[in-house]
């Protein structure tokens, strides 16, 4: 390079650096947030992506909010390439509403978080429908009551192997505290977010190994907490399940930087309060695995699961 051009480019770099530092973080691969609850306005949806340096998001909607998806997708097709739809699975019209959502373009069911058993009749009909329509089902597994979500949802994860076997054509995405606490073999529903080293051989780790139709998203405090417990275990877990995991945030912050009332409330787990879960988990994944595996978890796996071009 000629000296003058070199100096000019150095100057350009120096001028650009401070701006970049204040801007969003950048990750080693493009990122799709597969667990992004659609927000009230287009601006709020966009702000979280930009603040956290996230390329795209899968919008999680209820069947009655699906109409708001179309204009957002039309305006920002790269940022919002896909959406999932959920409805109360205990209601008799659940199958009809979920079918309509898929016909309207939904790429999956979820998040399904209703007070039923994961192997009960309500969810079994959803699993059968998901296989018929060839869309995945995103499930919130919770056994321990919490301030932000009392009671249990999709209970009985320790029995879930029978469901994975009974519905081989259904693609399941595991999420939430009971899913992630059960990667450790010593978990007995003693608390939502257990700490300390992982005991190998946990139920959900085994299910991920044994059943090709089980996937998981790395969203929320539940996944971040589980993957922060034992760095050596985490590195091995990410390596072993590198084709079954995809990134998700389930973050409540407004700006992709931990701001806003919801992410600073006492209903948020203290370790995540005031922080952006998307950023925290992307940092954790970056530190815990090789760039090739990060790319799969952050981008490629989700695209393959949903049949989207990447
Ligand atoms: Zn959830
Ligand atoms: Zn956030």
Instruction: Answer yes or no: is pLDDT of 297 > 90.
Output: yes
Q: How far is CA 241 from each of CA 2, 15, 27, 75, rounded to the nearest angstrom?
A: 49, 42, 21, 35
CA distance 280 to 54: 12
- State pLDDT tens for residues 114-161: 999 999 999 999 999 999 999 999 999 999 998 888 899 999 999 999
Strands (E), the chain: 32-37, 56-62, 82-86, 108-112, 137-140, 172-175, 214-217, 245-246
Confidence grade of residue 222 (pLDDT, cut at 50, 70, 90) = very high
- State pLDDT tens for residues 165-174: 999 999 999 9
DSSP one-letter string for 87-111 = --TTSTTHHHHHHHHHHTT--EEEE
**Closest-approaching ligand to the CA atom of 221:** 1
pLDDT at position 5, please?
A: 42
CA distance 63 to 68: 10
* Ligand 2 geometric centre to CA of 199 (Å): 30
* Ligand 2 geometric centre to CA of 48 (Å): 6
pTM across the whole model: 0.92
| Range from 7-11, 62-66, 91-95, 280-284 carrying the lowest mean pLDDT | 7-11
**Closest-approaching ligand to the CA atom of 255:** 2
Q: How far is CA 89 from the centre of its chain?
A: 21
* Ligand 2 geometric centre to CA of 132 (Å): 34
**Closest-approaching ligand to the CA atom of 249:** 2
* Ligand 1 geometric centre to CA of 113 (Å): 6
Instruction: Answer yes or no: is pLDDT of 73 > 60.
Output: yes
Confidence grade of residue 256 (pLDDT, cut at 50, 70, 90) = very high
* Ligand 1 geometric centre to CA of 11 (Å): 47
pLDDT at position 9, please?
A: 41
Across the chain, what does the average pLDDT equal?
92
- State pLDDT tens for residues 179-194: 999 999 999 998 999 9
* Ligand 1 geometric centre to CA of 166 (Å): 24
Of 201, 84, 181, nearest to 135 (Cα)? 84
Q: How far is CA 54 from each of CA 25, 84, 244, rounded to the nearest angstrom?
A: 9, 18, 20
pLDDT at position 22, please?
A: 57
pLDDT at position 109, please?
A: 98
Confidence grade of residue 69 (pLDDT, cut at 50, 70, 90) = very high
* Ligand 2 geometric centre to CA of 295 (Å): 20
* Ligand 1 geometric centre to CA of 291 (Å): 27
pLDDT at position 34, please?
A: 98
Instruction: Answer yes or no: is pLDDT of 57 > 50.
Output: yes
Instruction: Answer yes or no: is pLDDT of 50 > 70.
Output: yes
Instruction: Answer yes or no: is pLDDT of 211 > 50.
Output: yes
- State pLDDT tens for residues 259-270: 999 999 999 999
Percent of the chain having pLDDT more than 90?
Answer: 87
User: Which tokens in the block code for residue 14?
Assistant: 């120096």
User: Contact at 8 Å (CB) between 84 and 69?
Assistant: no
**Closest-approaching ligand to the CA atom of 35:** 1
């Amino acid at each position: 390079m000629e000296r003058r051009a070199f100096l000019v480019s150095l100057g350009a770099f120096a001028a650009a650096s401070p701006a970049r530092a204040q801007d969003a973080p950048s990750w080693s691969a493009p990122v799709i947030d597969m667990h992004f609850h659609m927000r009230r306005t287009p601006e709020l949806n966009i702000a979280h992506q930009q603040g956290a340096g996230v390329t795209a998001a899968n919008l999680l909607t209820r069947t009655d909010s699906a109409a708001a998806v179309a204009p957002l997708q039309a305006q920002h097709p790269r940022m919002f390439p896909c959406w999932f739809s959920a409805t109360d699975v205990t209601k008799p019209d659940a199958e009809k509403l979920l079918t309509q959502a898929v016909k309207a373009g939904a790429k999956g069911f979820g998040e399904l978080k209703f007070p039923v058993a994961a192997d009960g009749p309500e969810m079994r009909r959803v699993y059968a429908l998901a296989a018929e329509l060839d869309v995945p089902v995103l499930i919130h597994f919770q056994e321990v009551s919490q301030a932000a979500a009392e009671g249990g949802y999709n209970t009985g994860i320790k029995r879930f192997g029978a469901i994975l076997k009974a519905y081989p054509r259904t693609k399941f995405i595991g999420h939430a505290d009971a899913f992630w606490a059960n990667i450790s073999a010593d978990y007995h529903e003693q608390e939502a977010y257990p700490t300390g080293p992982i005991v190998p051989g946990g139920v959900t780790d085994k299910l991920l190994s044994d059943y090709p139709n089980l996937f998981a998203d790395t969203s929320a405090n539940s996944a971040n907490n589980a993957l922060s417990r034992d760095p050596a275990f985490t590195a091995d877990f990410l390596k072993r399940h590198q084709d079954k995991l995809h990134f998700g945030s389930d973050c409540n912050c407004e700006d992709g930087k931990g701001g806003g009332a919801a992410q600073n409330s006492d209903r948020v787990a203290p370790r995540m309060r005031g922080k952006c879960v998307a950023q925290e988990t992307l940092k954790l994944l970056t530190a815990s695995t090789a760039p090739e595996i990060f790319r799969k978890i952050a981008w490629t796996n989700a695209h393959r699961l949903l049949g989207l071009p990447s």
